Structure 1
Amino acid sequence: MAGGKWMGWWGHLGAPKQRGIVTYTLSPFEQRAFAGALHQAIFNTFRRVTGQAFYIAVPLGAAYGIYTWGKENHQWRLSKAGHAAHGDDH
């Protein structure tokens, strides 16, 4: 009681009853929040990876090719044949 007048239960402060509001509930026994989550995760991940594979594989392949070419070229330039081809006297 506040000031001699009962104001109702929590949230019902004497205002007119609300109309047109619909609420739905679902039994906890009917909820399956993770139903099929692992199955969907596997196939969704596969689909996403295969969709992005071209954008990842091509630059990685190009970078690997440039790296191996550079390593081989560097080793050749350090060799006797490389020095002779470029006329280095070192």
Structure 2
Amino acid sequence: MGHGFGQLYKLRRIITYRLSPYELKAFAGVVSHGFPNTLRRLLENVPYMVPPIALGYVTYEQLEKEHERLMRKNPADFENDK
């Protein structure tokens, strides 16, 4: 034969892909690497996410209070009605 591994047969203009059976573990390392990595990435983004969310919440609450105040009737407008 004389050829090395992987060169035993040549196919021209045909591309083939294969996965090793050792790489088919879809959930390998999810618990040991996936969850800690997700937690780390979330905690790294907290300084960028919290201020806009807090500002939006405070703004929304103030606008709701102002809207409720403006929707109330003024009793002085109805003093002479009978």
Q: Same fold (TM over 0.5)?
A: yes
Are residue 79 (structure 1) and residue 72 (structure 2) matched? yes
Give the paired residue count.
Answer: 59
2:31 to 34, 38, 45: 38
2:40 to 41, 47, 67: 47
Richer in helix (by share) = 2
Give % identity: 28
SS in 1 for 2:38: helix
1:67 to 38, 53, 60: 60
- Residues 3-30 of structure 1: per-residue CA shift (max 9 Å, x gap): xxxxxx633xxxxxxxxxxxxxxxx6xx
Unmatched runs of 5 consecutive residues or more in structure 2? 1-7, 11-20, 78-82
When normalised by structure 2's length, the TM-score is: 0.55
Q: Which has the higher contact order (CA 8 A, sep 6+)?
A: 2
Structure number, greater radius of gyration: 1
